[in-house]
Structure formats: C-alpha cells, structure tokens
Structure 1
Amino acid sequence: MNTELSARASEIAACARALLVRGGYNGFSYADISTAVQISKASVHHHFPSKAELVRTVVARYREEARAGLDALSRQVPDPLARLQAYTGYWASCMHDDSSSFCICAMLASELSTVPREVADEVRGHFLDLTAWLASVLASGAAQGRFVLHSSPESEAMGFVATVHGAMLSARAYGDPEAFTAVVQPLLRRLAAP
C-alpha cells in the first residue's frame, strides 16, 4: 500500500492517529478531525473518502514505522535482552511523556469485531509483524544462553505482546505510567537466564 500523503492528508492522518490512541475507531468522527485540523468535513472526505480508508492508511503507516523501528533495534542493539529492554523502554517513555501512550493496533484489536475488514487486516498484520520480530529476538537470545524459554519462541512472543499491551492498559486504567514498568519488568526478569 502506498502511504505517501500530501501535507494536508498527513495532517489529517496525524490527527486521526491521536484520536485513535485516545478512543479507538468508534471514538471519533470526521467532525472531530474537521474541528482539530480546521478544515471542512468535505475536505476531509476529499483526502479520505471513508473513515475505513483513513484508518487503514493510518495503521499501514504505523506498521511501516514499527517495522523500521524494530529493524533499527535489531541493527543497533546486538544483545537480545538489551533489545527487549529498548523496545519496552520505548513504550515506557511514551507513557511518561504522553506522546503515544497506547499502541493504536492494540486499541483497534479491542474493537476488531466492529472495524471494517481492511482495517482489521492491517491490525492483524501488525501483530504478526511484531510477534515474528519478538520470536526471532527470543530464539536468538535462547541460542546465546541469554534467555530461558518455557515454550516455543512464537508462544513466548505472543505472551510478550500480550503482557506489553496489557501493561499499557494497566497504566491507562490506573492513570499511572509506572504501572507499565511494574508489569513488564517481571517478564524481562523471568526471561533472562540466571
């Protein structure tokens, strides 16, 4: 999917992304974007004829960013445990500075039965991308004697994803960014070989 956008379309997509973090797919309308970006609803429709197209574009761009970030971590951080710490540290920082306190794909996954299929497909794609990356980090760490895995790298990766996203939810529910770290740190300690 081509995710190149004009300056105005990028502004609309950025606004939609922020609204998705706050309230998910069903938590905003084109009227909200129109007000925030200060353009008419017709102009929003000009750039994105449907909400499904807008959100699919936002999620596709999010996936590109996530894949690039994970690839950069793989290149720049050779130690598997440090790589996982950098990944969770990214989210901890986002929680503290409120820059992106929730993964939009995790938010959308909670609404999967009510979002359009093209959006759901992008969300599932993100989870598959993330799980594959984590499984490769976990397998590498186990091969190096850095991790003790209690099941397959793929199963451990799915558990890791669930824990990280659950930690985001906990931080939001408690209104405390430290809750994220409190949930994630025991997972990292459990994985680390003695």
Structure 2
Amino acid sequence: MTLSLAVGRPTLADHVVPRGLVTDISLVVGGAALTGLLAQVAIPLWPVPITGQTLAVLLVGSTLGASRGALSMLVYALVGVAGVPWFSDSGHGIAWLLGSSGGYIVGFILAAALTGWLAQRQWDRKFLHAAVTFLAGSGVVFLIGLPWLAVVTGADLVQTLQWGLVPFIPGGIVKALVAAALIPAIWQSVRRLDEAKGGDLR
C-alpha cells in the first residue's frame, strides 16, 4: 500500500505524477510556494490589497484535491507566520495573520478544500462546471475574510463590503474564469497524451 497525503478520488496531479508520500509533500510545498509567489503580484489597497493569491488557491485546490490543497494552504499560512515574508506586500508573522487580511488566508484553506472536493468529482474538466467551482471557491474566501475584516477594523457592514468585497469582484471573476479555462485545457492535453499511450483517462 502506497502512503499518500491524498484522500479520495484522483485529481489532475494524480494523472501527471503517481501518488506517494514524497510526491505529495513536494506538491503541497510547491502549492504553498506558488501562492506565496502570486501574493507578491499585488495592487496596494488598504486595508486589504488585491493580489494573485486567489488564483493560486484555485489552481492548487483543483489540481491537488481537497486534502492536499487544504494542507498546501495550511503550510502557506504556518510558514508565513513562522517568518517567511510571502504574504502580500512581503508580510509575515502572527501579527500580520491576525490583521485585516488574515481572514482571507484562513479562507484559502477552506477554498482549496472545496475546489479540490469538486475537482475530485470532475467539476474541473469542463469550462462551465469549472467556472462554478472556482467562483464558489472564491466566495468561500470572502465568507471567512469579510467577518474577520469587520472584527479587526470595527467597520460596519457597508464599510466592510466597500473595503473587503467590492474592489475584488472584477478581479475575482477574471481569476476564476482564467482558472476555468486553464484547468480544462490541461485536462484535454493530459487526455490526448493518455490516449496516445493507449490508456483510459477517468
């Protein structure tokens, strides 16, 4: 029996590399690193900057699945708290996590789990289903991030939405649609390679 961090049905990553503990750890760490990298692609905005993190979360969750995707985001959060400056604006530490953007980081864990769970049910293989999957994942980030922002800043509902939701809607839709176009396209490429080898991709 092969040890693995993956739970449940195979995902895109499993059709590219075989499951295994070492492989899974590498994928989890790689997903965290990708998130940290895209966090530096940012538009400064107070109290929450616009970044590329959400795109990374959607991609990591859908390709790795629920368990590995969530673990990857957990690693991202814990390593950032430990001192690696890979939160947005090169932020790090527990104080940053407990600040106005911290709820979004926690939301990443749940968003990756949701998108991964849906991907394991093949919702990432066609554009429309993938778009719904990634929009839902983005919504989970706000579901956690907005109440957190309100508590930290003491803002009322209207101000919280103006600060933490409204500026992110256009970019969030674009990132979800980019992911919804990219992941099914990769699946098509993997399927063609598998068929060329005489395999049966399911």
Quickly name the TM-score band, shorter chain normalised: 0.3 to 0.5
The structure whose Rg is larger is 1
Q: Which has the higher helix share?
A: 1
TM-score, normalised to structure 1, is 0.40
TM-score, normalised to structure 2, is 0.39
